[in-house]
Each structure stands twice: as structure tokens, then as C-alpha cells.
Amino acid sequence: MKPVALDEIASLDRYSSLRDAYRDAVVRHKRDRRIAIGDNVTLVFEDRETLRFQVQEMCWIERISEPDRVQAEIDVYNELVPRANELSATLFIEITDSPSIRTELDRLIGIDEHVTLAVGDSEVRARFDAKQLEEERISAVQYIRFSLDAEQVRRLGDLDCPAALRIDHPNYEYEAAMPEPLRRSLCIDLAGGPAPLLALGPEDAVGRTADEVLEETAVLRVLRPARPRGPGHVLIEPVDPRANLLDAEPELLAEILGAVRRAAADVVRDHGRCRVVTEAGPGTDPPRWHVLAAGR
């Protein structure tokens, strides 16, 4: 599952008009991803959309708008994004009797060794965040992960195969069968993650404005990126999104390279040195040429 990116976070002004609908969508999404294990422990499984929402809300509440500070928040929450064949969850120990909170939490010290995901006849022990663990105290909120193998992933998606979450701590022993909506949602995670719950235009994101179109022909466009990688940054790309660097027609390459050469000449004139960067291969089509000043 890919991490949350800066251009997926709405600016504060834009979020003010999107917030209510987005919160409703996230609440509905998280409803299927929450499971109680006994009376006092709840797991909420995280994905890039639940974490994106937390970043967005943190920025809203703290009035964080500077791209660098927003990125710092993103970096914190991206640590919780599940990796390949992995599930990520927040574990909440919920004790409503305030005078008993510390006593009840102390009774659950060592819970990090006693949480498992059972799929069929196999079990996956939860991996707790080591930064949160202390020998003599326990936090009421814990971040955990389950690393599955290919067969466990397959079985989780087979609704005829039983799946459950278990806690076998000496002071807290409970098991909860995983309902079908939760399993389906987790299988989406394991397949790469959910579709975005908040669609942003190029003008909506933090610090974003639209790329400036400097030149456009029938086959290519030259852009000044809204987020330049360096001084003089110009981007050249084909108009046809199906274009591919590895099998592009010679005529297209000739026109693009002509535009690259002109852009490079402008950068050299203004900045002394030039760097040209392009990429090819899966996930990088159509080809894009980045022309910008080179460091000395």
C-alpha cells in the first residue's frame, strides 16, 4: 500500500467545504474496520484513507498549512501504513471507570505477547510498536501489525475459512470472530488499498497551484510544475497518456527531444548548468522529461 502524499492533503480553505462529507465517508469506512475483543479492547484497522483522514484532521485542528509542517505530520502517520501482505491496526484499551484506569492497565502489562490473528489452522502474532512498550507501564493506545504469508492472505479472503482475533493474556482472555465486512475490507488492503474517499483537484491540495502550461502542440506540452524540483524546472510530456518511452514513434521522440533541448538551453543561459531526468518502465508512463538547473 503506497504511503500518503502531500498532494493528497487538502488546503485548510478547501477542507472547510469538504470536511463534513469527508468525515461521514470515513466514519462509514471505519465502521467495517472496527472489532471489539471482549469488553475493554477494540481494534481499528488502519489503511491509507484512515491515516490520510487523521493527517487532514490534525492539520485542521492545529491550523497547520505550511507544506513542510504538513509533510512532517504525513511522515508520522505514514509509519502506520501497512506494507505488502501486512495489516495495521490501532488497539484501544477502553476503561470507562476513571479511578480504575491505571490499575486495569497495569493488569494488562505484557499484552504485546498475547494478541493473535487466527486464520484457519494458522496464527499470526501481533507485532507491537517497540517505541510504545515499557516494562512497568502500558499505554491505552497501541499500534500493531500482522504480517501474513501468501496462504494466510488467501485464506482470509475465503469466507468459508474461519478467522478470528484472540487475546490470551492471563488477565484478559477473549476471542472475536471476524465478520464478513471486515474481512472484505482487509482483503482490499492486502490487494493495494482502497479507492480515495476524498477527490482533490490540482488547486485543492496544500500549497498547490496548477502546473503552468508554457507550450502545447498536438503531441506534447511543456509545463512549469507547481512544485518545482529546483531552479528553472520545466517538464515536457506527451499529450497522449498512452505514450511509452520504450516504444514511442521516432517522430514523437524527435519533437519531444527538440523541446527538451530548447528548455535545456534556457536553463543553461539562466543558471549556468542543466540536468535532464527521465524515467521508463512500469508505473512511469507516459514518459516525462524534467529539465532543471544542476548543482555545482
For the chain, domains (ranges, CATH) are 6-190 (no CATH), 212-293 (3.30.428.10)
β strands within 153-261, DSSP E: 163-169, 172-177, 212-216, 220-224, 234-238
What is the C-alpha to C-alpha distance for residues 240 and 244, in angstroms, rounded to an integer?
9
User: Nearest-CA neighbor of 163 among 126, 119, 116, 125?
Assistant: 119
CA distance linking residue 253 with residue 251, whole number of Å: 6
State the helix-helix crossing angle for 48-62 and 12-31, rounded to 10 degrees: 140
For residue 233, what is its C-alpha cell? 524546472
How many H helices and E strands in the chain?
7, 14
- Cα–Cα separations (whole angstroms), residue 134 to 73, 93, 103, 112: 25, 16, 16, 11
- The answer to whether 281 touches 268, Cβ cutoff 8 Å, is no
What are the CA-CA distances from residue 103 to residues 98, 114, 157 (Å)?
A: 10, 19, 39
* CB contact at 8 A, 227 and 208: yes
Q: What is the pLDDT of residue 174?
A: 96
Q: Pinpoint the alpha helices (H) of the chain.
A: 12-31, 48-62, 67-78, 101-107, 150-157, 180-190, 250-271
pLDDT of residue 51: 95
Residue type present at position 291: V
Q: Identify the pLDDT of residue 282.
A: 57
Residue 248 CA to residue 258 CA, distance in Å, equals 15
What is the chain's pLDDT, residue by residue, as a tens digit (296 residues)? 788 888 899 998 889 999 999 999 999 999 999 999 999 999 999 999 999 999 999 999 999 988 889 999 999 999 999 988 999 999 999 988 888 888 889 999 999 999 999 999 999 999 998 887 777 788 899 999 999 999 999 999 999 999 999 999 999 999 999 999 999 999 999 998 888 998 887 678 786 656 788 999 988 899 888 767 778 889 998 888 777 777 778 888 899 899 999 999 999 998 889 999 887 665 555 678 899 888 65
Angle between helices 67-78 and 48-62 (to 10 degrees): 140
Predicted structure pTM score:
0.67
pLDDT at 202: 67
Question: Among candidates 28, 2, 31, which has minimal Cα distance to 189?
Answer: 2
| Set of cell numbers at residue 137 | 507501564
What pLDDT, on the 0 to 100 scale, is given for residue 64? 92
Distances (CA, A) of 82 to 144, 192, 218: 10, 10, 42
Q: pLDDT at position 156, please?
A: 95
